[in-house]
Amino acid sequence: MPVEDDETLREILNRRTIAVVGCSSTPGKAAHGVPKYLLEHGYDVIPVNPFADEIFDRPAADSLSDVDERIDVVCVFRPSEEVSGIVDEALERDDVDVVWTQLGIVDDEAATRAEDAGKTVVQDRCIKVEHRRLVA
């Protein structure tokens, strides 16, 4: 079951390196504003977007497999139908502890696969809203 309790959400929000899949370079989009907020609150945000070279003055990776740094949390800003492939990529990495899908993004089958592989899953929640509510 995806995480629902505040204690576990706080623990997740204590992890510092977040790869944002679908990170946008367009101000005004949630996929831009949320990772910018995370950066402003001390997180190491790794933008993942194959259509951008750089976001927030940081190099943008084409995919999770192209990220050299350790990743604690994969935060997903892509449509629900793309979550399965993103989870597959996350499962290929030994360092990813958490897969977090933003508001309105749900794939129960992919969530179950991630959990069965030992990953913590948060679905259909905004990481910025949860940070403001539980940490800030």
Q: Are 135 and 10 in contact (CB under 8 A)?
A: yes
Cα–Cα dist 46/70, whole Å: 10
CATH number of the domain that 106 lies in?
3.40.50.720
User: In the chain, how many domains are there?
Assistant: 1
Q: Which domain holds residue 61?
A: 6-134
Strand partners, 79: none
Domain membership of residue 74 (yes or no) is yes
Q: What's the average pLDDT block by block, 10 residues per block, for the chain (136 residues)?
A: 95 98 97 98 98 97 97 98 98 97 98 98 98 94
H/E segment holding residue 108: helix 108-116
Domain membership of residue 76 (yes or no) is yes
Domain membership of residue 1 (yes or no) is no
pTM: 0.96
